[in-house]
Amino acid sequence: MAFAPSPIPSRTQYVLEAVKHAILTGQLPPGRALVEAELAAKFGVSKTPVREALKTLAGTGLVVMSEYKGATVRTVDATMAREVYDVRLLLEPEALRRTIARRASLEDAGQALARADAAADQAERSLANREFHRALYLPCGNPLLARMLDEVRDQAALVSTVAWSADPSWRHEADEHREILRLARAGDAEGAAGALHHHIASFVRRAFPAEDPDGAQ
């Protein structure tokens, strides 16, 4: 008999979401030490929910736990970016094909795109872009496939946060998002999947030119 996982206590969830947001918006940059006592004081909680939140974030790949250094925000390099984007290249275009084949609603993707266009800052834009991609693969009809993509979603957002800090290329990527959505709404599964593959591959190529997810050096 399977048992549902225990819900995360509210204080832990609060700390988890706050720290995650700070990481994914660049307020806590890669390599920054995450000191339990400092975070506990900042959020007005004991160190226990902070410790549990950091363990959960380590499980998602946003935080690195070390016996000697404690917890730090994960550092992004070309190897890490390639690993994350390789998974996306393998799974995300196929998920989009299935979403289109099922004639699933793309309304959420359109709304996310509009929020990204209207974003007041990079933080809002990054979060909206994450929702855009998720809205394309979530209705694919295979919950396991969607969960696998969810597992790399935060790490992909961390890569894009670091890349944008060096080269704010979001306007170019927004144009690519619009073209992907146009093709998807037209029912062109192969065209949309191809455009999505190009979008993912070209982003990591631009951001980390030493490593090419398609294998070129």
The pLDDT assigned to 213 comes to 45
pLDDT on residue 7: 53
State residue 113's pLDDT score: 94
Helix 107-117 / helix 122-137 crossing angle, nearest 10 deg:
170
Please report, in angstroms and rounded to a whole number, the separation of the first and last CA atoms in the chain: 50
Q: Are 109 and 181 in contact (CB under 8 A)?
A: yes
Put simply, whether the predicted model's pTM sits higher than 0.75 gets the answer yes
- Determine the pLDDT at residue 77: 86
DSSP β-bridge partners for residue 63: 73
Confidence at residue 88, expressed as pLDDT on a 0 to 100 scale: 96
What structural domains and CATH numbers belong to the chain?
10-73 (1.10.10.10), 78-207 (1.20.120.530)
User: Each residue of 3-23: pLDDT tens digit?
Assistant: 444 456 688 999 999 998 888
Could you list the mean pLDDT of each consecutive 10-residue stretch along the chain, which spans 217 residues? Answer: 53 92 85 94 93 92 88 90 93 98 97 90 80 97 96 86 70 91 98 97 82 45
Alpha carbons 105 and 96: distance in angstroms, whole number: 12
Question: What are 104-133's pLDDT values in tens digits?
Answer: 999 999 999 999 988 877 777 888 888 999
pLDDT at 140: 98
Residue 189: phi and psi, rounded to 5, are: -65, -45
